[in-house]
Amino acid sequence: MRLSSGVPARVVVLVSGTGTNLAALLEASEDPAYGVNVVAVGADRKDIPALARAQAAGVSTFVLRVADFETREDWDAAFADAVAGHEPDLVVSAGFMKLAGSGFLARFPNRYLNTHPALLPAFPGMHGARDALAHGVKVSGCTVFVVDGGVDTGPIVAQAAVPVLDGDDEASLHERIKVEERRVLVDVVGRMAREGWTVTGRRVTIP
């Protein structure tokens, strides 16, 4: 994927909650040298801190709730239309707690990223930190990956490891992971925006 050089990449960020990853991307985007313009933030629910962060930064937002559509496929198509309307070079799930359907994925092939609070392929799903802790691992971390049709199964772009400490509970481990996660996500999105990227089978390379 090669983007127009010298023009900031158009990025749409999808959120469902706190939005600290979004905040990190917004902060990085303030520097023109970062090469990213967060053109919109989309959510599947109202009244979340992530939307407030986007609005405070003057970024356009949209909310489409599954409950307001007759079928999940209708929601998926409408959500894809809303994202596509912002003509993104890259779509980034940052704590977006919905699985995109095949219709959505087909609209943004190899340009839809997600971030997960575990070292995939270990502990996919909604509770990466909780599941790693329950398993008793000594190291966990975060993974940024290109979304495919599975649950957290797509080609991996970057990972970082984080120690699990004896006194950890889910919240303390997740917070330690999120510090690394924000760093990795900001780094990866910026490099992809500036350098482009290639997905060959399961290998993702940023030149």
Please indicate whether residue 116 is annotated as part of the active site: yes
Alpha-carbon distance 143 to 123, whole Å? 11
Catalytic residue among 86, 116, 127, 135: 116
Name the residue nearer to ligand GAR (CB basis): 85 or 125: 125
Name the residue nearer to ligand GAR (CB basis): 33 or 126: 126
Name the residue nearer to ligand GAR (CB basis): 74 or 187: 187
Q: Give the footprint of ligand GAR on this chain (CB under 6 A).
A: 17-22, 50, 94-95, 115-117, 126, 128, 178, 181
Q: Which of 22, 49, 51 is nearest to 38 (CA)?
A: 22
Indicate if the alpha-carbon torsion angle 27, 182, 84, 15 is positive or negative: negative
DSSP state of 4: P
User: Hey, what are 59's tokens?
Assistant: 């970024």
Residue closest to ligand GAR when measured from CB atoms: 95
**Distances in whole angstroms, Cα of residue 168 to Cα of each of 17, 95, 109, 129, 175:** 22, 21, 38, 10, 10
- The catalytic residues are 116
